[in-house]
Copies of this chain bind each other. A is one copy, B any other.
Amino acid sequence: MINKLIKKIEETKAPVVVGLDPVLGYVPEHIQKKAFAEYGETLGGAAEAIWQFNKEIVDNIHDLIPAVKPQIAMYEQYGVEGIKVYKKTVDYCHSKDLLVIGDIKRGDIGSTSAAYAIGHLGRVQVGSRNCTVFDEDFATVNPYLGSDGVKPFVEVCKKEKKGLFILVKTSNPSSGEFQDQPVNGRPLYELVGEQVAKWGADCVGDTYSYIGAVVGATYPEQGKILRRVMPNAFILVPGYGAQGGKGKDLVHFFNEDGLGAIVNSSRGIIAAYRQEAYASYGPENFAEASRAAVKDMITDIQEALKTR
């Protein structure tokens, strides 16, 4: 799947992933009204509204980008109905030939991590049958529990030719509270980065490992260091746009081949119509605003990579 991701990045010239992290506040009123009229102001109504919102955005951007990254929390908060729409979104994106990075940030001890890995990336045994479940292509994983927690995911990826992005240095302001703590003179995130490189050492596709890392765009200096620590890891870079990261901050996350990183924007794309720059589209044309924002993001990153 890492080879497919790279191929799609090369085809689209867009090392970009759009975060499908819908909250009702972003969904234009006409969509909410329609969903509530049909299902009431219920979890089902909310789920229908975010589904219609997602669908229209995906229809408008799928040809521009290689992948999307639905954040499962935004679906899980609507319970079973929300999870249904998460799955529906994964399937719909696949039908549009988009790769799907499930932003699930799961991580637990051995057998429990295995259950998450099987459910999201693999197949679960039911009697004599092997069933795929959520079936994302990649998933994000939290490494705090150590190798026991990560290796079951790696095993499933080996078997199913899928991939991971393991949290190394996250984009949020307080990520340093634990991740930056000095361990024998180096920050903890470097140690985690080294482990990512080890976990992924025998998981290399044609050029890159399918065991990647998450490093926030908001920490470009750390990105520079981690790029060297994990030369074969693909880096998923959140924090572009709404969280403050800019194209020029991103160049060090990429290797000399122009590959090795994929930059995520969520709010900045899916709620573009609420920004001044795209306000002229209006709520009715929210998905066209998203398309314009994706194009601008791609240009920004391409320019930054050219002038590095």
The answer for the CA separation of A149 and B179 in the assembled complex, in Å, is 13
**B109 and A107: CB pair below 8 A?**
no
Interface residues of A in 155-180 (CB under 8 A from B): 167, 170-179
**A185 CB to nearest B CB, Å:** 11
Q: Is A43 engaged at the interface, CB distance under 8 Å to the other chain?
A: yes
Which residue of B78, B83, B112 contacts A73 across the interface (Cβ within 8 Å)?
A: B112
Evaluate contact between A172 and B115: CB separation under 8 angstroms: no
Q: Does A249 contact B (CB under 8 A)?
A: no
Interface centre among A84, A178, A188 (most CB of B within 10 A): A178
Chain A interfacial residues counted at CB < 8 A: 71
With A77-B116, A77-B118, A119-B73 as known contacts, state yes or no: A188 contacts B178, CB within 8 Å: yes
- A148-B174 in contact given A42-B126, A77-B124 (Cβ < 8 Å): yes
Stretch at the interface among A93-101, A139-147, A202-210: A139-147
Chain B's nearest CB lies how many Å from the CB of A179?
7
Some 13 contacts from A to B, beta carbons below 8 A apart, are A24-B126, A32-B127, A45-B126, A77-B119, A77-B124, A77-B133, A80-B87, A105-B107, A109-B172, A144-B167, A146-B178, A146-B179, A177-B195
List A residues at the B interface (Cβ < 8 Å).
21, 23-24, 32, 36, 41-43, 45-46, 71, 73-74, 76-80, 82-84, 87, 105-113, 115-116, 118-119, 124-129, 131, 133-134, 142-149, 167, 170-179, 181-184, 188, 191-192, 195
